[in-house]
Amino acid sequence: MAEAVVTLTPTESWDDGKRIHVVGTLAIAPAADTYAAGGLAVPVPNAPGVNAAAKPILFIATGISGYYFEYAYATDKLKARTGAAAQTELTEVTTGAVPAGLSGDTTRFYAIYHKFSE
């Protein structure tokens, strides 16, 4: 099975003079694709002023199905975390088929990039 692909669809972007801010939706491919240990690769959004090789200064993703998202800057991957019970630490989603709640979630993202960064 292939690693699930993350698709970013910008709905709005703006330039503050030094940085490009991008807001949009995030979709994760469903099973039979797999969630990989350490997270899923996040592409650079197609937005004016953002270089195709840019790395985000800040990347935040939020959904409504109960998953918590964490962007790992060292690896440029998005980790999905979930909790098994109240008052326990969140654990990364298990490697394997992408859970339906994760791929079917309504997820939004906000990212900041250096303007025309390399």
Is the pLDDT reported for residue 23 higher than 70?
Answer: yes
Fold observed for domain 6-114: Immunoglobulin-like (2.60.40)
Torsion angle of C-alpha atoms 27, 93, 79, 37, degrees rounded to 10: -110
Per 3-state DSSP, the chain is made up of helix, strand and coil in percentages (nearest 5) of 5, 45, 50
pLDDT at 31: 80
- The more confidently predicted of residues 33 and 85 is 33
What's the pTM? 0.89
72-114 pLDDT, tens digit each: 999 999 999 987 666 678 888 889 899 998 998 989 999 999 9
Is the pLDDT reported for residue 66 higher than 70?
Answer: yes
Give me 51's structure tokens: 């270089």
pLDDT at 32: 84
For the chain, the domains span 6-114
